[in-house]
Amino acid sequence: MRSMLVKSIMLLEEKLITVTPKTSIGRALEIINENNFLSIPVVEGDKFYGTISKERIYAFYFEKCQDKQCFLSDFNVESVMLTNIPTIDLTSEVEEAVRILELRNIAFVAVVDSKGVFQGILTHHAVFEQFTRVFGVNKGHRLAVIAYDVPGQISRLSKILSENNADIISFVVVDPNSVLEVKEIVIRMDTDNIELIKQKVSSAGFKII
């Protein structure tokens, strides 16, 4: 599967709902609740500052404040926001963003250009949505085979599919981390001849799993 760049699946800045560091806590909480969010980016101009979340607001309130109304009106987002959110360049590979999301256990990673200008965010949901699209989840027929990692295997398999009028939706090669030199190939296809194709694939020496 060809590497994909962050910029191809990120949520663009102009489509995001954000607050500034000077937004009051009360207003930030209203925006979060109105949109059923858990957290939102803190942005001013073209600069990304961090994120503000319901969890962060409630924790700060119980730790620092006695009067609820005072807290909501007199404190700003900059007093509560989380600032150590990592950034990634929009030309980075999605795999790098996924690694950051997993290691830091955060809702999103901020995306910036080569000059550090905020461009948007990449979320778990965006990655998962792209993953399901690439694998053609719930579309057509699924065929998974094991093939020896030798030249020409993918061409042979593709030829069998095309000769039997299969319309390929997705074709993904997976390394199963086996000690054997094999690859797992997962195909999604539109076809009326799935049983015949399985027979042909098996006869060609591929192991169907």
Per-residue pLDDT reduced to its tens digit, 70-113? 777 778 999 999 999 999 999 998 889 888 988 888 889 999 99
Band the pLDDT of 141: cuts 50, 70, 90: confident
Per-residue pLDDT reduced to its tens digit, 37-67? 888 999 999 999 999 998 888 888 777 666 6
188 phi-psi bin (left φ>0, alpha ψ -120 to 50, beta other): beta
**Close Cβ partners of 98 (under 8 Å, ≥ 6 residues apart):** 127
Per-residue pLDDT reduced to its tens digit, 128-137? 777 666 655 5
Domain ranges of the chain: 6-132, 139-208
pTM greater than 0.85: no
Level-2 CATH architecture, domain 139-208: 2-Layer Sandwich (3.30)
Kind plus residue range of the DSSP H or E element containing 58: helix 54-64
Please compute the mean of the pLDDT values over residues 16-42 and round it to a whole number.
Answer: 93
The pLDDT of residue 3 is: 62
CATH of range 6-132; options 3.40.50.20, 3.30.70.100, 3.90.550.10, 3.10.580.10: 3.10.580.10
* Residue 121 pLDDT exceeds 80: yes
190-193: long-range contacts (C-beta < 8 A, 24 or more apart)?
A: 190/139, 190/140, 190/141, 190/166, 191/140, 191/141, 191/161, 191/164, 191/165, 191/166, 191/167, 192/165, 193/164, 193/165, 193/166
